[in-house]
A and B are shown apart, each in its own frame.
Chain A
Amino acid sequence: MLRFMLVCLCLIFVAPVAHAQSLQSLLQDNADAVANPSRSTVDSIVSALAAAPVEGSPRFLEDWRDKAIWVRLSDGIFFSAAEDGDGLVLTDLDTGAQTTVAEDDGFDQIRPNAGVRRVINAALVQFQLSDADVTRRIAALDAISRDPAADQLVPLRQSIPGEPDASILARKVQLERQLTARFGDSMQERVAAINFLSGDLSVEVRGVISQILTTRQFVGISIPEGTNVAQIMEIGDDLDEAEAYQLLVDADLAPATVTPDDIVATLTAQIEDGQVAGVDVSTLGTDAARIAAYDMLVTRGDAAPFIAPEDRASALDAHTFYLAYTEVNVDITTAAEDAEAAIAMQLNVGKTLDLTLDALSLASIYFLAAIGLAITFGVMGVINMAHGEFIMMGAYTGYVVQQIVPDYTLSIIIALPMAFGVTFAAGVAMERLVIRHLYHRPLETLLATFGIAIVLQQLAKNIFGTQARPLTSPDWLAGAWVVNDVVQISTIRIAIFALALLFLCLILYILKRTRLGLEVRAVTQNPGMAASMGINPDRINMLTFGLGSGIAGIAGVAIGLYAKVTSEMGADYIVQSFMTVVVGGVGNVWGTLAGASLIGFTQKGIEFFNPSNTLAAQTYMILFVILFIQFRPKGIVALKGRAAGD
């Protein structure tokens, strides 16, 4: 122990100082100990190497451990060598220069024994953990947490006091606790470490705790003294009879049951002249006939008998089935169980939080996708089936901009207004050319806009091809905000959330505080009256439609950043967008917000119960929406009023 302390101290003071001594010369100073390593001598070399950190020490230690160090008998020079047929490929320890010799006659392989190798290994970890290079230290820590072992504990502890980097230090302390929890010397030490880890959510800690709590299935007449029992298993509750009996069979405590496969095999083996036990094979097409034939074989003594149910029951009764911890100490497993419970609780909190964040980001996407639709649908009573294709147009606009402007940040800044402009123009054109003529035929508007949707989709396919196009987000959007191993959310989703919030405010502002908004609301409520007040409904309709479409374009850029840009991406959002609008209540921004939140949270909530199946989540979400409409046909935020017009 003291030796290692020394090594550490040496490292701290010596490491930064450049040293002239070469590895070879250092080894030559201890030539005898290197060539014939033993438990008593190996430490001196390790100390020497640690004291004078020369290039290639860790590499040498690895080779030494792996029996790849050879000595040239003629001059005692050490080489790292690989066998090559009869010859050797020699690598100079200092220069790395390689030479090949045909015969290994003049060389001797150094073979440290297992005890020595363990010391070398520990020293190696020590070297890496104390390496001057930060990345190598991190790599060493990663290696330990990937594959923790008892012998890493001591070198890890040694490396802690000398650690200059705060974050690595924290990681080392954490890892030290994890290793102690599993491999600590005393019970007290381990329990203390386990308690320290309690409530930590990281995957590593959860792995450590579950390692400690590893159980094995046992069966016996009674439970041996000193067994750390995790659970006594009741037949019927924890185990079904067949499984329990199979355990008995596996433990050679009961004779094997006769399975249908056994029956078939036995019968097949006993076929003689188309008969088994005097029964025609052709009649054995039912289970009952097969069992009867088998029974005859049993009475003849040609087959193992069936296990009688009462024998089976008594065998099961006579034995105890239990799970035992591989860890024998009860205090440790109790502490680990407590820690596991604490972690589980934390985990639930974390998962709920994570789910909420997920749902929030999904709701933002639905809101962005649907708000444009809500404006056109709510204000103008027009169903725009091509809304999804406007989203797609926005995304492709972003893609094209990125082809021209290679700087990702700049291209996003250009793409957003560009997408708005392109889809605004497309929306206005569509309103002028088609929708204007269909204002009093809403069902036909739906179909005509669908016609436009298939045209746009096919055009996108013809221009950009069918494969997905990437819309790369700038670096500052590429990361994720990681709270812990459970709760994390990608930056892009946060950005979309912010964008959704921005648009909520913007649209509320436009509708409530501007002249345009006033006119839009006037046209919504009474187009005829608005027209007679000097508001041009045509102009308002055109602008409203353009605005709704423009927002779809911006939503397209946002969605394209985290999903792939394809010609069909719009179609994926259109039904959800419609449902958002319908659930929320038509003609109200808050309604759309409520609808998006409801749908986003419901979908994520359903996914929570069945995480592997997002298709099912969507299916049930739609069913939920259909049922929801039953109770609130006008949506969450319904505009009440005197039943107009009869």
Chain B
Amino acid sequence: MRKSFIAQNPSVLWFLAGLAIFTLGVTFMSEAAGVDMISTSFLKTLGKTLCLCLVAIAMDVVWGYCGILSLGHFAFFGIGGYAIGMWLMYARTEGIVATSLDSAALPPTPQEITDAIGSQIFGVVGSSDFPALWAFSHSLPLQLLAVVLAPGLLALVFGWLAFRSRVTGVYLSILTQAMTLALSLYFFQNDTGLRGNNGLSGLQNIPGLEARGQAVVSLWFFWASALALGMGYVLFAYVVSGKFGSVIRAIRDNEARVRFLGYHVEHYKLFIFTLTAMVAGVAGALYYPQAGIINPAEIAPIASIYLAVWVAIGGRGRLYGAVIGAALVSLMSSWFTGGSAPNINLGFYEIKWTDWWLVLLGVSFVLVTLYFPKGVGGIFDALVRKTAVERQGDYGPDKGAWRNDEGKPS
């Protein structure tokens, strides 16, 4: 009776194959490979989109499978970006400072180097001392660890507080939104030591790889993003399949009943919340070196809501749905707002898409919610269902959860 993991989840194989073909195709068309059909900046956009897809599947697991509409996962994404950004900034500034201090009469002491880096980095916020947060910024391995641990720890603490007081449904959403707002306000402060609203910049210059040129480095990041997305997909497909997946979907549909079966619902939610936060952190750490800059506006609550929008448009409760949604919306968004979309002249009024794209997105989002609750991924479902009878997890909280249960915090 038992089937292998892949046999139970044929979509994983399809997805990995598709991702591999896409990656190879882009590689051959890239500037670094010589064909130069895809510009470096578009390559970066594609790499960033892959990172967004990764955070979207994390969001899908936490929302579509576990029923927690977290409005904080983009904050974890941002924290991952900050964690890697701190090392990038430190290491790059160290290089610059070393050159400038070489001209001094005496060779610099370690303290002098640290002070110079400090005043270089924190000069914009009128400070020169290294805040405690930057204690590990000199070390790549430690900051890489922070990419996973910082969001994970935050998610663990917040989740523990929220889940143990049995806050569910929209209450939980609002609480996560409040957390995100608090976090972004905290990052906005100069006192925090993360350069306030200036954020971290120059992240596209990878220390030690300056000689390689952006075209090559971008391609490497694109590969890394594709690899991370593939691994994330397999990880989450494994998590949501089998009995564990069964339990978390049961929690989504009727939390109280799962409790009476003897499962510590809080532990499961906490596990999922923390795991997805860590993956979000990894996605962020790959995204921001490609974007080049991160500032607190990136982790404002609205970003996390957009994340939910992508997943909803793509179709939640299916991992590939989240990927489709994130890719579709973010690529369309950069197409419309980048000025590439042709304006429509109505005679009396010209529709400029840079102004009207958000209106279009909002309206289509409302329409999707109203008429296609399964999202774009639902189309695949309709096709696949004929061949594979054993599909699972097609239901969102809409079918399994009741209004009464979600309106109350207990």
* A residues whose Cβ falls under 8 Å from a Cβ of B: 264, 267-268, 271, 281-287, 290, 381, 383, 385, 434, 437-444, 446-448, 450-455, 457-459, 461-462, 571, 575, 578-579, 582, 586, 613, 615-616, 618-619, 622-623, 625-627, 629-630, 633-634, 643-646
Contact, CB under 8 Å: B165 / A630: yes
- Which of B158, B191, B355, B369 is most buried by chain A, counting CB atoms within 10 A of its CB? B369
Given contacts A451-B366, A575-B178, A578-B177, contact A616 B105 (CB under 8 A): no
Q: How far is B365's CA from A615's CA once the two chains are assembled, in angstroms?
A: 32
Contact, CB under 8 Å: A619 / B185: yes
Q: What are the residues of chain B within 8 A of A264 when measuring CB–CB?
A: 105-106
Contact, CB under 8 Å: A448 / B191: no
Q: Which residue of B lies closest to A444 (CB)?
A: B369
Contact, CB under 8 Å: A455 / B358: yes
Report the minimal beta-carbon distance from A446 to chain B, rounded to whole angstroms.
Answer: 6
Interface residues of B in 84-127 (CB under 8 A from A): 105-111
Report the minimal beta-carbon distance from B203 to chain A, rounded to whole angstroms.
Answer: 24
Q: How far is B240's CA from A389's CA once the two chains are assembled, in angstroms?
A: 38
Contact, CB under 8 Å: A616 / B398: no
Known: A455-B363, A578-B177, A616-B185. 4 other contacts (CB 8 A): A442-B406, A448-B365, A634-B408, A646-B256
- The verdict on B28 contacting chain A, using a C-beta distance below 8 Å, is no
- Which of A438, A454, A578, A582 is most buried by chain B, counting CB atoms within 10 A of its CB? A454
* B108 in complex: contacting residue of A285, A437, A442, A582, CB < 8 Å: A285
- The verdict on B167 contacting chain A, using a C-beta distance below 8 Å, is yes
* B173 in complex: contacting residue of A446, A618, A622, CB < 8 Å: A446
Report the minimal beta-carbon distance from A459 to chain B, rounded to whole angstroms.
Answer: 6
Q: Which residue of B lies closest to A454 (CB)?
A: B362
- The verdict on B166 contacting chain A, using a C-beta distance below 8 Å, is yes
Contact, CB under 8 Å: B365 / A629: no
- The verdict on B245 contacting chain A, using a C-beta distance below 8 Å, is no
Q: Which residue of B lies closest to A630 (CB)?
A: B165
Q: What are the residues of chain A within 8 A of B227 when measuring CB–CB?
A: none
* B359 in complex: contacting residue of A286, A446, A450, A455, CB < 8 Å: A455
* A625 in complex: contacting residue of B178, B312, B396, CB < 8 Å: B178
Contact, CB under 8 Å: A461 / B308: no
**8 smallest beta-carbon distances between A and B, as pairs:** A455-B362, A622-B182, A451-B365, A285-B107, A458-B358, A381-B407, A268-B105, A441-B398
Q: What are the residues of chain B within 8 A of A623 when measuring CB–CB?
A: 182
Contact, CB under 8 Å: B361 / A437: no
- The verdict on B397 contacting chain A, using a C-beta distance below 8 Å, is yes
Q: How far is B174's CA from A440's CA once the two chains are assembled, in angstroms?
A: 18
Interface residues of B in 381-410 (CB under 8 A from A): 396-398, 402-404, 406-410
Contact, CB under 8 Å: A615 / B188: yes
- The verdict on B328 contacting chain A, using a C-beta distance below 8 Å, is no
Q: What are the residues of chain A within 8 A of B358 when measuring CB–CB?
A: 454-455, 457-458
Given contacts A281-B107, A282-B107, A447-B309, contact A615 B355 (CB under 8 A): no
Q: Which residue of B lies closest to A386 (CB)?
A: B362
- The verdict on B265 contacting chain A, using a C-beta distance below 8 Å, is no
Contact, CB under 8 Å: B305 / A450: yes
Contact, CB under 8 Å: B362 / A447: no
Contact, CB under 8 Å: B355 / A458: yes
14 A-B interface contacts by CB (under 8 A):
A444-B396, A454-B362, A458-B355, A458-B358, A578-B178, A582-B171, A582-B174, A615-B186, A616-B186, A619-B185, A619-B186, A622-B182, A625-B178, A626-B179
Report the minimal beta-carbon distance from B268 to chain A, rounded to whole angstroms.
Answer: 19
Q: How far is B404's CA from A646's CA once the two chains are assembled, in angstroms?
A: 11
Q: How far is B181's CA from A626's CA once the two chains are assembled, in angstroms?
A: 12
- The verdict on B302 contacting chain A, using a C-beta distance below 8 Å, is yes
- The verdict on B170 contacting chain A, using a C-beta distance below 8 Å, is yes
Contact, CB under 8 Å: A438 / B369: yes
Report the minimal beta-carbon distance from A26 to chain B, rounded to whole angstroms.
Answer: 61
- Tell me whether chain A's interface is mostly helix, strand or loop, or mixed: helix
* A443 in complex: contacting residue of B361, B366, B397, B404, CB < 8 Å: B397
Contact, CB under 8 Å: B174 / A578: yes
- The verdict on B377 contacting chain A, using a C-beta distance below 8 Å, is no
Report the minimal beta-carbon distance from B408 to chain A, rounded to whole angstroms.
Answer: 8
Q: What are the residues of chain A within 8 A of B362 when measuring CB–CB?
A: 451-455, 458
Contact, CB under 8 Å: A440 / B397: no
Interface residues of B in 180-230 (CB under 8 A from A): 181-182, 185-186, 188-189, 191
Contact, CB under 8 Å: B177 / A434: no
Contact, CB under 8 Å: B373 / A444: yes
Report the minimal beta-carbon distance from B162 to chain A, rounded to whole angstroms.
Answer: 8
Q: How far is B292's CA from A328's CA once the two chains are assembled, in angstroms?
A: 64
Q: What are the residues of chain A within 8 A of B302 when measuring CB–CB?
A: 571
Contact, CB under 8 Å: A284 / B110: no
* A627 in complex: contacting residue of B161, B312, B366, CB < 8 Å: B161
Contact, CB under 8 Å: B403 / A439: yes
- The verdict on B370 contacting chain A, using a C-beta distance below 8 Å, is yes
Q: What are the residues of chain B within 8 A of A442 when measuring CB–CB?
A: 169-170, 403, 406-407
Q: What are the residues of chain B within 8 A of A627 when measuring CB–CB?
A: 161
Report the minimal beta-carbon distance from B127 to chain A, rounded to whole angstroms.
Answer: 14
Q: What are the residues of chain A within 8 A of B165 when measuring CB–CB?
A: 629-630, 633
Given contacts A383-B170, A586-B407, A645-B404, contact A462 B178 (CB under 8 A): no
Q: What are the residues of chain B within 8 A of A618 when measuring CB–CB?
A: 181-182, 185
Contact, CB under 8 Å: A290 / B161: no
Q: Which residue of B lies closest to A283 (CB)?
A: B107
Q: What are the residues of chain B within 8 A of A625 when measuring CB–CB?
A: 178
Report the minimal beta-carbon distance from A609 to chain B, rounded to whole angstroms.
Answer: 14
Report the minimal beta-carbon distance from A160 to chain B, rounded to whole angstroms.
Answer: 49
Contact with A along B154-170 (1 / 0, CB 8 A): 00001001101111011
Q: How far is B228's CA from A191's CA once the two chains are assembled, in angstroms?
A: 79
Given contacts A383-B170, A452-B366, A626-B179, contact A634 B312 (CB under 8 A): no
* B170 in complex: contacting residue of A443, A457, A459, A461, CB < 8 Å: A443
Report the minimal beta-carbon distance from B106 to chain A, rounded to whole angstroms.
Answer: 5
Q: What are the residues of chain A within 8 A of B312 when measuring CB–CB?
A: 444, 447
Given contacts A623-B182, A634-B410, contact A271 B359 (CB under 8 A): no
Contact, CB under 8 Å: A284 / B106: yes
Q: Which residue of A lies closest to B168 (CB)?
A: A633
Q: How far is B189's CA from A644's CA once the two chains are assembled, in angstroms?
A: 45
Q: What are the residues of chain B within 8 A of A444 when measuring CB–CB?
A: 312, 369, 373, 396, 398
Q: Which residue of A lies closest to B171 (CB)?
A: A582
Q: How far is B373's CA from A381's CA once the two chains are assembled, in angstroms?
A: 20
Contact with A along B44-82 (1 / 0, CB 8 A): 000000000000000000000000010000000000000
- The verdict on B175 contacting chain A, using a C-beta distance below 8 Å, is yes
Report the minimal beta-carbon distance from A201 to chain B, rounded to whole angstroms.
Answer: 31
Report the minimal beta-carbon distance from A74 to chain B, rounded to whole angstroms.
Answer: 66
Interface residues of B in 336-390 (CB under 8 A from A): 355-356, 358-359, 361-363, 365-366, 369-370, 373
Report the minimal beta-carbon distance from B265 to chain A, rounded to whole angstroms.
Answer: 15
Contact, CB under 8 Å: B109 / A622: no
Contact, CB under 8 Å: B370 / A633: no
* B397 in complex: contacting residue of A282, A441, A634, CB < 8 Å: A441
